[in-house]
Structure 1
Amino acid sequence: MVTNPKPAAAAQGASAASAVTAASADTALKRTLTTKDLIVFGMIFMVPIAPFSILASVAAVSNGMPAIAYLIAMVAMLFTALSFGMMVPLFPSSGSIYVYASHEMSHGIGFVVGWLMILQYLITPAIMLIMAANALHEYIPGVPTWVWCVIFLAVITAIALRGTGATVLVDKLALAAELVVLALFFVFGIIYVCKHPETAHFSGTAFFNPSKFNMSDMMSAVSLCALSYVGFGSIVTLDNQSVQPKKGPRKAMIIIVLILGFLYMSMSFLTMCMDPSGNILVANQNTGFYEVAGLAGKWLGVVCAVANALALGLFTSLSGMTAISSLMNTMAQGDALPKFLARTGKKNGVPVGATLFTAGVSLVLIFVFDFLVGQNEAAKLSNFGALSTYFMLNLVVIWGLGIKGRQYTGRTFWRSVLCPLIGAAVTFYIFVSLGVKVWIVGVIWTVLGIVYYLVWSKGLHHTVDLEQSAS
């Protein structure tokens, strides 16, 4: 994976579903999500076992130090989560970062930020489906990966359109199952290392090896594993469905980043202890982790692969579909996107137009990513959208609250300037490490967004009001 991000979390078939499905028959959505629901939503979308899909790639690029890569990414996301925490109480809305930018900077900048969010969320479901398919293809090679992708896409689209509120329970059960699988990996992985000292061992070099450390390589690895974290921002897209819109999302984001950061680093460290040379991981960067897990028992490799395939192919991709549908629906209500994206179901309030559009785009992207781009580059492209918007979020806090925001209470220098400045610096450092190809595509997408905005607002005279649409 890369991640999330995701781009959201659980959604209609995973917690987000509870979000959008809890919507009323019109465009107004009911406040039904507690802080615990938001945490489940975020953790399902980010996936506690997310590194299973890309750990081999991260290990290879970081020269055998994936845990450090996840640590650096966690630091960046933690400071960004703090910036979110500053803005959420002031603007509790479904629009998130683009609303903040619209209010504190300009409507044009806000639209571009929203456009970059669309880039992240629109391609996330396809990435998750490909990762799920790769996990299954390792053990069922006779079925092409694109077939698994299409099957999963059909299932999540059907669930997303139904919008059943019972999915909150399903989300919690899915999260519990993922944590059980992760616990099995830790237990049997540790047992394997203890019983095979000749080929595996616990060592500090599995975390940090100064003789192999290279900052450029490490930041490239960080840019890859960042998607495992970026999903926490999707929680803000559900502000207008939170029971405590000013406190719930803020608490949920920080808790999620800390918990999952610890889990990601721990599983990365143990994996390197099981395969100190990294030969198994490097040999197959799409499925290397499952082979390492299989050292402790072939059954464990199969369990990890199937669990990750179901988590990504159903729950996380469904969350991503719900998140982008909610985002485009909100922007369309603000006259920033075509009106068909604002269409919602009369009975369940599901954003039907945006959901069907997302499904169609995902179908096309599945083949583009699977045959032309590749899993890792696709993940980095999603991170282009996520990291650029997170960078902008930190700038918005500095500008809006630190420089001109005298009207806001509770702002202090360290919260409104220092923390977001650190967050912006670390995020930008990761951002520039994405690679030239990703940058070219990302810049093209950004330019298209600017052109679209000018034509839409100036040429066709649409009044874009993202703040009002998300209120």
Structure 2
Amino acid sequence: MENVTLKRSLGMWAIVGLGLGYMTPTIVFDTFGIVSNQTNGVVPLAYLTALVVMLFTAISYAKMVKVFPSAGSAYTYTRETMNPYLGFIVGWAALLDYILLPMVNALIIRIYMMSVFPSVPAWVWVVTYVAVVTAINVWSIGKTSSLNSLLVIFEIVLIAAFIVLAFVKFSQGMGQGTILTTEPLFHSNIHFGSILTGATVVCFSFIGFDAVTMYAEEAKDQKVMTKAIMLTVFIGGAIFFVAGYFAQALFPNVSHFKVTDDTLPEIGLYVGGTLFKMLFISGAFAATVASGLASHASVSRLLYVMGRNGVLPKKFFGYVHPKFQTPAFNVILVGVVSLLAITPSLELISSFINFGALIAFTFVNLSVIAHFAVRKKRYKTMKDIFSFLIMPIIGAGLTGILWANLHADALIGGLVWAGIGFIYMLFQTKFFKIKLMDFDFDEADRSSTL
């Protein structure tokens, strides 16, 4: 039987669009109340701090995707540069981040729709949304990308409309009364620790650049992957910072809001009235669907690579649909997990996501050191020392600062999840007596018709 592989159909901007869709630019308004509370009113500073941290890690991703242009991201890089067992644990931990994000999107859709149609049961919205996103992802990555791009453009247009309306509100004396203020970035009541706590919360908004690497085997030209990663980080970070700045200048504190768990509907209402609230919710709805499409596709491909490598049951997780050329079983499984979004809170789930993301970020930085400095001995010039030792060490160190400010529940839950993965690995390897199945990356790359 002919080997069925993923299909190469994505150009650079399609990949960037999937990354931005994954990042959900409007999430800055959803989590605004939570982050404003934690940072005491300096949301844009939290995003700026997270952006600086993410830039170092993004550079490490860009280096590794050149060496291993395969789906799998941190799992693949750790497995190939350090150890297959460690790679599995990193991949397993990253699954917590990837598999929960589609659930977050379903949860946000539930919140939006219940704010508009409070009499309709929550489960109706979750089931409908999950069914549609799952079906599109099974059908085609090309269709997923096209719809994602349209939704991302729509949400960016609405964010621009929010900024225009914000100028009108400033002229009427709302908030700080002017955009020319430093209050959203600095004031006497802020504390460095609270900024780091806020940065830890918002860092999960940046994981779209990590997800970008999942599409390496579906890129028309693998050479564009490095540029796609960096563009995703810079464009997404700029949107988060600017939107967060305007929102914080309009709302110096959260006293205006009745619901701080998701402030987007009320921000839309206060800035532009009922009509703009509906448009803003529709834009956020579009953003969430875009993120749902992209995150659903990403985790399906991580599961696919782990199945292809044999560390998860290959017949199920390594399956590619012969007609659609998508990992159909994985897509459906992620959809089933996403149905759990009927009851939990946004803050709790987003904190668990950060555990998996920070594991991935830490080990991608360490993979750069392991591959270039240790394996390739690229440490004999100042340029190499800076690129392959100093930069990833800074990236890992900054990620470590975020680790220190991780929510206690997320840390405990993440460690429990990692422990389950370790037990599973022990079972699979009969206490390391059997090697995890090695997948020949080079052979797969040569034989692929992606």
Q: Kindly indicate whether the alpha-carbon contact (under 8 Å) linking 2:163 and 2:246 is maintained by their aligned counterparts in 1.
A: yes
Report the counterpart of residue 114 of structure 1 in structure 2. Answer: 91
Aligned pairs for 1:187-336 within 5 A: 187-196=164-173, 200-202=177-179, 204-245=181-222, 247-281=223-257, 283-298=258-273, 299-312=275-288, 314-336=289-311
Aligned pairs for 1:285-434 within 5 A: 285-298=260-273, 299-312=275-288, 314-339=289-314, 340-363=316-339, 365-367=340-342, 370-371=343-344, 374-406=345-377, 412-434=384-406
Report the counterpart of residue 123 of structure 2 in structure 1. Answer: 146
The offset of 1:379, in angstroms, is: 0.5
Q: Kindly indicate whether the alpha-carbon contact (under 8 Å) linking 2:23 and 2:206 is maintained by their aligned counterparts in 1.
A: yes
Q: Which is further off, 185-194 or 407-416?
A: 407-416
Q: Kindly indicate whether the alpha-carbon contact (under 8 Å) linking 2:373 and 2:379 is maintained by their aligned counterparts in 1.
A: no
Query: CA-to-partner distance for each residue in 1:293-320, whole Å, 9 max, x for gaps?
Result: 32232222221112112321x2211221
The offset of 1:407, in angstroms, is: 6.7
Aligned pairs for 1:59-74 within 5 A: 59-74=36-51
Q: Kindly indicate whether the alpha-carbon contact (under 8 Å) linking 2:25 and 2:287 is maintained by their aligned counterparts in 1.
A: no
Q: 1:133 aligns with which of 110, 120, 124?
A: 110
Query: CA-to-partner distance for each residue in 1:124-166, whole Å, 9 max, x for gaps?
Result: 1011111122123223222343332221011111222222634
Structure 1 pair 55/145, CA: closer, same or farther in 2 (3 Å)?
farther
Structure 1 pair 237/166, CA: closer, same or farther in 2 (3 Å)?
closer
Structure 1 pair 408/145, CA: closer, same or farther in 2 (3 Å)?
farther
Query: Structure 2: which amino acid aligns with 1:305?
Result: I
Q: Kindly indicate whether the alpha-carbon contact (under 8 Å) linking 2:174 and 2:250 is maintained by their aligned counterparts in 1.
A: no
Q: Which is further off, 457-466 or 397-406?
A: 457-466
TM value normalised by structure 1: 0.87
Moved over 6 A (4+): 407-411
Report the counterpart of residue 176 of structure 1 in structure 2. Answer: 153
The offset of 1:467, in angstroms, is: 5.7
Question: 1:465 and 2:416 equivalent?
Answer: no
Structure 1 pair 320/198, CA: closer, same or farther in 2 (3 Å)?
closer
Query: CA-to-partner distance for each residue in 1:39-80, whole Å, 9 max, x for gaps?
Result: 111111112222121112111111000001101111111111
The offset of 1:198, in angstroms, is: 7.7
TM value normalised by structure 2: 0.91
Structure 1 pair 63/130, CA: closer, same or farther in 2 (3 Å)?
same
The offset of 1:461, in angstroms, is: 4.3
Query: CA-to-partner distance for each residue in 1:104-123, whole Å, 9 max, x for gaps?
Result: 21111111111112111111
Q: Kindly indicate whether the alpha-carbon contact (under 8 Å) linking 2:103 and 2:341 is maintained by their aligned counterparts in 1.
A: yes
The offset of 1:436, in angstroms, is: 1.2
Structure 1 pair 139/286, CA: closer, same or farther in 2 (3 Å)?
farther
Aligned pairs for 1:72-111 within 5 A: 72-111=49-88
Report the counterpart of residue 442 of structure 1 in structure 2. Answer: 414
The SS at the match of 1:89 is: helix
Structure 1 pair 69/164, CA: closer, same or farther in 2 (3 Å)?
closer
- Identity of paired residues, percent? 26
Query: Structure 1: which amino acid aligns with 2:119?
Result: G
Q: Kindly indicate whether the alpha-carbon contact (under 8 Å) linking 2:15 and 2:212 is maintained by their aligned counterparts in 1.
A: yes
The offset of 1:402, in angstroms, is: 2.5
In 2, Cα distance between equivalents of 1:29 and 1:164: 9
Query: Structure 2: which amino acid aligns with 1:352?
Result: A
Structure 1 pair 191/329, CA: closer, same or farther in 2 (3 Å)?
same
Report the counterpart of residue 4 of structure 1 in structure 2. Answer: none
Alpha-carbon RMSD across the aligned residues, in angstroms, is: 2.3
In 2, Cα distance between equivalents of 1:333 and 1:64: 47
In 2, Cα distance between equivalents of 1:409 and 1:249: 27
In 2, Cα distance between equivalents of 1:434 and 1:467: 36
The offset of 1:462, in angstroms, is: 6.4
Structure 1 pair 409/326, CA: closer, same or farther in 2 (3 Å)?
farther
Which consecutive unaligned segments of at least 5 residues does structure 1 have? Answer: 1-24
Q: Kindly indicate whether the alpha-carbon contact (under 8 Å) linking 1:121 and 1:323 is maintained by their aligned counterparts in 2.
A: yes
The offset of 1:167, in angstroms, is: 4.0
In 1, Cα distance between equivalents of 2:145 and 2:331: 19
Query: CA-to-partner distance for each residue in 1:184-205, whole Å, 9 max, x for gaps?
Result: 1011111111122587443534
Structure 1 pair 466/437, CA: closer, same or farther in 2 (3 Å)?
farther
Query: Structure 2: which amino acid aligns with 1:152?
Result: Y
In 2, Cα distance between equivalents of 1:463 and 1:419: 31
In 2, Cα distance between equivalents of 1:243 and 1:76: 30
Query: Structure 1: which amino acid aligns with 2:367?
Result: V
In 2, Cα distance between equivalents of 1:269 and 1:376: 21
The offset of 1:333, in angstroms, is: 1.0
The count of corresponding residues between Structure 1 and Structure 2 is 439
In 2, Cα distance between equivalents of 1:431 and 1:290: 31
Query: CA-to-partner distance for each residue in 1:340-361, whole Å, 9 max, x for gaps?
Result: 1222212111212211221222
Query: CA-to-partner distance for each residue in 1:415-442, whole Å, 9 max, x for gaps?
Result: 1111111111111111221211111110
Q: Which is further off, 180-189 or 126-135?
A: 126-135
